[in-house]
Every structure is written in C-alpha cells, then in structure tokens.
C-alpha cells in the first residue's frame, strides 16, 4: 500500500510526500521554500481605496501581492455581536534584498474611517534577511456600549508596505486570514491574571522526527516533546500546538553543530503566534559559532479570556484557546559561514497545566477551542493540510496513475471551491 499526498510547493503547485508531517521535503533538493501559501486561498483583489476594496469573508484565507509603497484596501462585514481578526503575512523572496525597517502595516477602520486597531511587522537589525512578516488587527467588543468600532456594518483593512531604496523592488506575496469570534452569553471578568509560572520546564520524554511545514496552513502538529527536523539557510519552518483554556505554552529551538568558522548574530529566530496569527513573542538575537545553541521565547501566561484586556501585547495575545503556531527561521548567513547544507534542528514544546472550562460563547467557538481531534493530530504529527488530498494506491494501480488522479481531483475541488465563492 502506497500513500501519495499532494501538498503545496513554492509556486502553489503540488509537492509529493510519502508520509504525513513531511511537507516540503520533496523540494529540499531544489532549496528551501520561502512560504507555502494556503492552497485553499482565494484571490483577495485588494483595491486602491475603499471604493474598490476587495471583499473578505469570515473563516476564509486569501492571497494577493503587494509592491513597495503600495496600500491595499479590503472590506469585511461585522455585526455588533462578534469580534473580528484579520492577519496579513507578507513573503519576500529568498534571494531578495531587505533592510532594517522594511515593513508592513495593517490597520482596521470602521465605516467612518476611525481606526480600530493597527500593527506593524518589520525586518529587524539582527534578522535583516528575507523571512515571512506577519501582523494582525482586531475589532474587539470590550463590554462598552459606546465608542468607535462598535456598530455593525462595513469595516476596512488596509495593508501598507514600506521598503528602503536599497531593498529589492519585487512584489511580496501576501496571505490574509479573516476569523470571527462570538461574544459571550454573559459578562465575565475583565481583569487579566497578573501572576503565572515563569519557570521553563525540562524536556519531555517524547521525541522523534517532525519535519516542519512551509507556512501557517501547512504547519506540522506537535504535542509535548523534543522534536527533530532539518532546516536550510533561509528557510522558515512552521509548527502548531493545541493550547487549551488555562494552559501555558513553552517553546524553544536548538540549532545543531556544524563545521566552519565565524560568528553569525541573529542566526535563528523563533516566534509564537496565537490562533488568529497574532504575535505572542519572538526572539532573533541568537549568536551561532558552530556549536549547538538553544533559543527560547519568554514564558507566556496561561490562556485566559480576560488576557485581552491587558496592556501588554504578548499577554493580550493569549486570549483564546486553539492552535498556537511556531515559526523557526534560519539566517542565510549561516550557510555562507558554515556551508549550504541542511542543519539539525530540535524544537521543544511543553504545554503545562490542566485544561479548564472556557467562556460560554454566544455561538460556535469555531477555531478558538481545542477538540479531541486536535489532540490526536498533535500526537500523530499531522500537517494542517494533511488528509485533504491523500490517495492510496492498492494492488496493481501504480503510483503514477494515482498521481494523475490526485492532481485531477485537486483541480476539480479547486473549481468547485471557486464556483462556491
């Protein structure tokens, strides 16, 4: 019995993998993938103003591209009983030039042009190499009965790109995700917890290979353990971890040893994002001289609905249960100093604390919860998109035949999906 899985490659086409959890490995010989756009994404068609803004619908992912100095406008509809979250991930090409301060700014406005929220994601001085930049904005109903961004109606999201003159003028791919969260049935506490454990736990007994995915939609599922993979200079790998209400997430990554001489500052970065792709914490100051080196994000507070009322961005991001994402990026300079080969990577994940009952939403929680199925996916190491296009060849049916059928089915599903939009 032979399994054939169609997964997205660098250009959005399929890459074949024989096992779950190995997204992108078939393309390793050709070099790393900058970012795998969601194969379910529809065209966003960002406009030049509110008059021709592209429409975003809740629960969907969209793709677009953005030029230096460009502003793209998108519109969405929100009623007065839901919170809305829109994330934007911008992807410079691996061979492009970026500079400190190159950035995207994402802003949400109500129909009267009043800002609801704004966030930037920028190239940092210790990580001035091409890697995915992700920012998110929200319209959050905080219990008040007045103020901007309270009414139901049309809202706008503006994505703006700023680049230095020395940076490559190429367009960046753009992936947008729009999620909604229902209000609570009854008012709860608006005071965020002020104390939590900051003691990082040791490694878990569980371990094994878990190759990372090439994007949020292809992220490899992890549970507690120390997981091994390979990462190439310039590559970004994505993982996801189910974190329930009342639980704490600890994340760390180790770059293995290598031959060569020199020192690379900002050799590897590690970032943690919440289920709406909002940044929880990141670190990109790890120096590397060829010896094994660990880096870790700061301990985050337990997941709590009231965290959204905190003034601290990282704490504010731990506002709901669901899949939390890890991104590990390796500086291309490591390849220049120590060789253009794959490097050993360890990713350590600890989810501490017992799950507690979450808030009572006035509607389906959708992606803001952890199900038994999510826990099983974490144990099995499934990719976020695994199982969508898996075909099994049995007996005399050859792999080539099944591949043709798989690609045909993939195209048919894409046509049906487009027709349903």
Sequence ranges of the domains in the chain: 34-183, 198-382, 389-420
The answer to whether residue 303 scores a pLDDT higher than 70 is yes
Contacts of 374 (CB under 8 A, 6+ apart): 221, 242, 323
More confident call, 369 vs 32? 369
Are the C-beta atoms of residues 21 and 220 closer than 8 Å to each other?
yes
- In this prediction, residues 187-191 reach a mean pLDDT of 67
Are 34-183 and 198-382 equal in CATH topology?
Answer: yes
pLDDT of residue 203: 66
pLDDT at position 20 is 36
**Token pair in block for residue 393:** 């060849």
Does CATH number 1.10.150.120 belong to domain 34-183? Answer: no
Pairing of the two strands 133-139 and 82-91: antiparallel
Predicted confidence band of residue 410 (pLDDT cuts 50, 70, 90): very low
30: pLDDT confidence band, cut at 50, 70 and 90? low
Q: State the distance between the two ends of the chain, measured CA to CA, in whole angstroms.
A: 36
Q: DSSP string of 129-152?
A: S---EEEEEEE---S-SSSSS-SS
CB 310 within 8 A of CB 300: no
CA distances from 374 to 125, 174, 341 (A): 37, 27, 34
Q: Which CATH code is given to the segment(s) 198-382?
A: 2.60.120.380
Cβ atoms of 152 and 80 closer than 8 Å: yes
Q: What average pLDDT score do residues 317-345 get?
A: 96
- Contacts with 30 (C-beta within 8 Å, 6 or more apart), sequence order: none
Q: Provide mean pLDDT across the span 319-326.
A: 98
Residue 403 has pLDDT above 50, yes or no: no
pTM equals 0.85
Q: Residue 201: which pLDDT band, with cuts at 50, 70 and 90?
A: confident
Average of pLDDT values for 283-290?
94
């Amino acid at each position: 019995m032979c399994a054939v899985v169609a997964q997205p490659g660098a250009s959005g086409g399929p890459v074949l993998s024989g096992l779950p959890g190995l997204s992108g490995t078939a393309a390793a010989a050709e070099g790393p993938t900058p970012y795998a756009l969601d194969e379910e994404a529809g065209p966003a068609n960002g406009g030049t103003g509110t008059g021709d803004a592209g429409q975003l619908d809740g629960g969907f992912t969209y793709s677009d591209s953005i030029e230096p100095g460009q502003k793209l406008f998108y519109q969405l509809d929100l009623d007065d009983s839901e919170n809305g979250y829109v994330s934007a991930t911008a992807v410079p090409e691996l061979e492009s030039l970026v500079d400190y301060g190159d950035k995207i700014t994402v802003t949400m406005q109500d129909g009267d042009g009043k800002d609801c929220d704004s966030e930037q994601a920028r190239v940092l001085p210790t990580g001035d190499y091409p890697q995915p930049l992700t920012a998110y904005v929200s319209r959050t109903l905080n219990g008040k009965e007045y103020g901007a961004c309270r009414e139901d109606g049309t809202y706008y999201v503006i994505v703006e790109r700023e680049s230095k003159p020395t940076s490559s003028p190429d367009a960046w791919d753009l992936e947008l995700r729009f999620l909604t969260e229902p209000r609570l049935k009854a008012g709860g506490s608006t005071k965020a917890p002020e104390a939590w454990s900051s003691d990082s736990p040791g490694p878990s007994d569980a371990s094994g290979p878990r190759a990372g995915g090439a994007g949020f939609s292809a992220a490899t599922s992890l549970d507690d353990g120390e997981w091994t993979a390979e990462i190439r200079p310039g590559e970004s790998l994505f993982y996801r971890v189910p974190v329930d209400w009342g639980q704490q997430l600890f994340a760390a990554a180790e770059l293995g040893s290598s031959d060569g001489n020199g020192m690379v500052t900002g050799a590897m970065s590690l970032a943690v994002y919440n289920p709406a792709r909002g940044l929880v914490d990141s670190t990109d100051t790890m120096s590397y001289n060829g010896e094994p080196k660990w880096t870790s994000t700061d301990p985050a507070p337990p997941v709590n609905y009231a965290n959204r009322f905190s003034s601290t961005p990282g704490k504010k991001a731990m506002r709901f249960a669901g899949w939390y994402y890890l991104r590990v990026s390796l500086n291309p300079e490591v390849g220049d100093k120590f060789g253009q080969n794959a490097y050993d990577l360890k990713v350590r994940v600890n989810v501490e604390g017992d799950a507690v009952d979450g808030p009572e939403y006035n509607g389906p929680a959708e992606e803001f919860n952890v199900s038994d199925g999510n826990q099983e996916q974490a144990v099995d190491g499934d990719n976020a998109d695994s199982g969508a296009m898996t075909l099994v060849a049995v007996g005399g049916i050859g792999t080539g035949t099944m591949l043709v059928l798989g690609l045909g089915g993939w195209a048919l599903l894409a046509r049906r999906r487009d027709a349903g939009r």
